[in-house]
């Protein structure tokens, strides 16, 4: 069984956090869809709140501290990424943007990404397509069609069904993109070629 890795980045500032709650629900939906396709799944949750000071230090020095480096490697080495931010002033949070600012510009190229956001009112839902999606597109990530925005009213009983439907659809889209890619970390068969002299000594044809 193939194991797929799924990094889940949440930029919520509080504890508990509705942003983390949405991230967890998206991760559960994507994990379930991947398991239905026959893959095992390893989920790597990342709370940016825990790395806020290290992110600022990285911007100032140009180098990540060891704990932040481990987080960056986990995110950039994952088969798929879920990225969720609170919406402040009709855009992503500064903490969310800072994390993607410290990544190498090519680190997410072609990576399947599911985007989500939370806010107090549904009026900010377009921030997903006006702010978050363009940023990930600039990094050449492969963002799924369905972005999931959750306003305060979505967590109540009246809106929960609609939110669940969006979460499940987005999770299935992410799983489909991940399954269409080779697993992260698969060794390159051409990375360590056998020297020609060794092939001749072993009596093998180079063709």
In a domain, 206, yes or no: no
Query: What CATH number is attached to the domain comprising 160?
Result: 3.40.50.360
What is the per-residue pLDDT for 196? 62
In a domain, 154, yes or no: yes
In a domain, 27, yes or no: yes
133 — pLDDT class (breaks 50, 70, 90): very high
51's torsion region: left (phi>0), alpha (psi -120 to 50) or beta? Answer: alpha
Beta bridge partner(s), residue 122: none
Q: Are 179 and 39 in contact (CB under 8 A)?
A: yes
140 — pLDDT class (breaks 50, 70, 90): very high
Average pLDDT for the chain: 89
Task: Read off the pLDDT of residues 145-168 as tens digits, 9 standing for 90 and up.
Answer: 999 999 988 876 555 578 999 999
Taking the C-alpha atoms of residue 33 and residue 146, their distance in angstroms, rounded to an integer, is 15
Indicate the number of domains in the chain: 1
What is the per-residue pLDDT for 16? 87
Task: Read off the pLDDT of residues 81-123 as tens digits, 9 standing for 90 and up.
Answer: 999 999 998 899 999 999 999 999 999 999 999 999 999 888 8
Q: Which residue has the higher pLDDT, 41 or 187?
A: 41
189 to each of 178, 193, 194, 196, 202, how far by Cα in Å? 21, 8, 11, 16, 19
What is the per-residue pLDDT for 181? 80
What is the per-residue pLDDT for 93? 96
Structural domain that includes position 151: 3-201
In a domain, 207, yes or no: no
187 — pLDDT class (breaks 50, 70, 90): very low
Per-residue DSSP letter, 16: S
Taking the C-alpha atoms of residue 42 and residue 61, their distance in angstroms, rounded to an integer, is 32
């Amino acid at each position: 069984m193939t194991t797929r890795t799924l990094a889940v980045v949440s930029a919520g500032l509080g504890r508990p956090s509705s942003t983390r709650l949405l991230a967890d629900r998206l991760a559960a939906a994507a994990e379930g869809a991947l398991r239905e396709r026959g893959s095992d799944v390893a989920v790597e949750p990342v709370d940016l709140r825990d790395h806020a000071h290290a992110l600022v230090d990285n911007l100032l020095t140009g180098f990540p501290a060891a704990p932040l480096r481990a987080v960056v490697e986990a995110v950039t080495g994952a088969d798929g990424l879920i990225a969720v931010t609170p919406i402040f002033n009709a855009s992503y949070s500064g903490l969310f943007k800072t994390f993607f600012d410290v990544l190498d510009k090519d680190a997410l190229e072609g990576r399947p990404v599911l985007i989500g956001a939370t806010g107090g009112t549904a009026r900010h839902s377009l921030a997903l397509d006006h702010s978050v999606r363009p940023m990930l597109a600039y990094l050449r990530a492969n963002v799924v069609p369905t972005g999931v925005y959750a306003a305060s009213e979505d967590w109540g009983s009246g809106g929960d069904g609609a939110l669940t439907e969006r979460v499940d659809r987005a999770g299935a889209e992410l799983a489909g993109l991940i399954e269409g890619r080779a697993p992260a970390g698969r060794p390159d068969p051409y990375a360590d070629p056998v020297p020609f002299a060794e092939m001749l000594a072993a009596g093998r044809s180079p063709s």
